[in-house]
Amino acid sequence: MEQYIIKGGNPLVGEVEIGGAKNAALAILAAAIMTDETVLIDNLPDVNDINVLLDAIRGIGASVHRIDRHSVRINGRSITNFNIEYECIKKIRASYYLLGAMLGKYRKAEVALPGGCNIGSRPIDQHLKGFRALGADVDIEHGKIIAEADRLTGKHIYFDVVSVGATINVMMAASMADGLTIMENVAKEPHVVDVANFLNSMGANIRGAGTDVIKIRGVKKLHRTEYSVIPDQIEAGTFMFAAAATKGDVTVMNVIPKHLEATIAKLVEIGCEVEEFDDAVRVVSKGRLKSTHVKTLPYPGFPTDLQPQIGVTLALGSGTSIITESIFENRFKYLDELARMGSRASVEGHSATIEGVSRLTGARISAPDLRAGAALCIAGLAADGITIVDDIVYIQRGYERFEEKLKSLGAVMERISSEKEIRKFRLKVS
Ligand code: EPZ
């Protein structure tokens, strides 16, 4: 199993290019099959999750032509199979977006029910509520969601929970339903807006994405388009906290600063200097960072996907910080790993209390999930000595060229897979 080995203590300095948003791209790739014409999508992040979903789309019969690492041509005309197997959903739960796409276009779909994951149980009841409201018969049999509809008719849908996945999945199905759908209590994340813009570029009629109410007038057919995915605000935020935690000076390039407002506000609050440009943000961290209280919320609140990253940063702050994770029920596991590096934190229900310490020391730790894994690498970069991070396959699911980008900013780290390489690295850096 591959690992990262990191020698901490170097401030990260320089510029880093941010890639396309994974969580927009996954939904856009699924929506691309909703037309029988060819769709060109670029600025895709070259990460495992994207590659697995492209295999799934190929698996149902669509033609998928990878032009280069960041762009692909998809044509859904040749789809014959409306069945997404458990094997696929286990690898990438976002393949459930094919449910909304196939229901909208073919009025039928069978998708294995996704299980929970490391950060929580992650039910999909709101997705199913939306499909049923549009007139689909949705049953769960033998671990599969079986959805069929003679007709899909626009409806007024009020979500009980603000859900990114349900908002996007139901929006896809409604975009080809008959009549007007009004969706309320919806997610407003930038990637929800990106998917709506993508569908509109194919001829859909979706208004209000990014606000509390989305109105959709269904259309009979969707057509070809060429589309570029928005930059990944979570990748950008990850590098911004890496700058903060290592007392560095990092400029994230090719970002949309507006998408980073909550992140920038917190970085300023804990003592970083932040400079915004048209499509870049610079983060400078000099002295010891301050403590703060942060609560994760749906956009435009502080994103849950940056909660582990601010957590490891605050572990080195002065004073006591409190983090409240209001989105997922099990997203503090990284604190157990961080404790092995000398941090002091305690978790009570949805809140973690973090007592800042003056130093962290390198240790052997493992990545519990995608974002916590990236956060623990930040801890290793800020710690004294050598840190080895196991299970980095989680990190590679959502971060393209993670160690190359960190090394370009001055990180002393390698991707390794043997004890021999650990010895070699220790010799090299000693
Ligand atoms: C998306 O997950 C992202 N994944 C997650 O990013 C992100 O953390 C999350 O949105 C919140 O922003 C992708 O986009 C592929 P939700 P999603 O539905 O859609 C509850 C990453 O690191 N809920 O907004 O699954 C749910 O349990 C990943 O890139 C229901 O109760 O999240 C959670 O408490 C991790 N019923 C809350 O809503 C439902 O039907 C928000 O979940 C759906 C969700």
Probe residue for ligand 1, chosen from 26, 122, 138, 189 as the CB with the greatest number of ligand atoms within 8 Å: 122
Dist. CA 187 → ligand 1 center (Å): 10
182: three-class secondary structure by DSSP: strand
For the Cβ of 396 lying below 6 angstroms from any atom of ligand 1, the answer is no
Q: What is the pLDDT of residues 158-178, one digit of tens each?
A: 999 999 999 999 999 999 999
User: Going edge to edge, which strands form the sheet with 273-276?
Assistant: 13-17, 249-253, 280-284, 273-276
List the chain residues with pLDDT less than 70.
116
Dist. CA 16 → ligand 1 center (Å): 27
Cβ contacts of 150 within 8 Å, gap of 6 or more: 107, 135
Residue nearest to atom 19 of ligand 1 (CA): 165
Residues identified as active-site? 117
412: three-class secondary structure by DSSP: strand
For the Cβ of 371 lying below 6 angstroms from any atom of ligand 1, the answer is yes
Q: How far is CA 307 from the centre of its chain?
A: 12
For the Cβ of 29 lying below 6 angstroms from any atom of ligand 1, the answer is no
Dist. CA 305 → ligand 1 center (Å): 10
Answer yes or no: are the C-beta atoms of 271 and 35 closer than 8 Å.
no
What number does the ligand 1 atom closest to the CA of 126 have? 40
Probe residue for ligand 1, chosen from 125, 172, 186, 327 as the CB with the greatest number of ligand atoms within 8 Å: 327
Dist. CA 318 → ligand 1 center (Å): 32
Q: What's the pLDDT score for residue 116?
A: 66
Domains and CATH numbers, the chain: 3-19+231-429 (3.65.10.10), 22-228 (3.65.10.10)
Rounded CA separation 196/411 (Å):
38
For the Cβ of 328 lying below 6 angstroms from any atom of ligand 1, the answer is yes
Q: What's the pLDDT score for residue 93?
A: 86
What number does the ligand 1 atom closest to the CA of 187 have? 24
**φ, ψ at 29 (rounded to 5°):** -60, -40
